[in-house]
Each structure stands twice: as C-alpha cells, then as structure tokens.
Amino acid sequence: MANPLQFAQQTRAEIAKVVWPSRREVVLTSSMVFLLSILTAAFFFLVDFLIRQGLQGILSMFG
C-alpha cells in the first residue's frame, strides 16, 4: 500500500488523464436523454391506455 503522499500524486496523475466532454457534447447527450425520456413516457402512456380501455371493454361486457 502506498503512503498518502504517493496516493495523492497517483490520484492527480489519473485525474489528469481524464478526457472531459465538451459543452456541445454535454448539451447534445442531455437533449437526447430528455427526448428519449419523453418518447418512452408517451409510449408507456399509450400502452397503458390501450390495455385499460381493452380491460374496461371486456369487463363491461360481463358486468
């Protein structure tokens, strides 16, 4: 196990190797996540609505 000074130096060296995304990349990927979240929510809303309508139709025939 390295001493605390070596650990800090190695940590700084590893952090220096990190390639941070550009502002454009962050905005683009965040926009994609937001858009896909909306599309997924709309899809599941539609599926839920269709299942609910179908079950209500079936139950109204027997009840």
Inside any domain, residue 47 = yes
Half-sphere exposure of 27 (CA within 13 A, CB side): 3
Each residue's pLDDT tens digit, 11-49 = 999 999 999 999 999 999 999 999 999 999 999 999 999
Cβ neighbours of residue 2 under 8 Å, at least 6 residues apart? 10
Residue range of the domain that includes 53: 20-62
pLDDT given at position 2: 67
29 occurs within a structural domain = yes
Residue 30 forms part of a structural domain: yes
In a domain, 7, yes or no: no
For the whole model, what pTM was predicted? 0.66
Of 29, 12, 31, residue with least CA distance to 21: 29
CB atoms within 10 A of CB 2: 9
Instruction: Give the mean pLDDT of the chain.
Output: 94
Task: Indicate the number of domains in the chain.
Answer: 1
Note whether residue 49 is domain-resident: yes
The reply to whether 5 falls in a domain is no
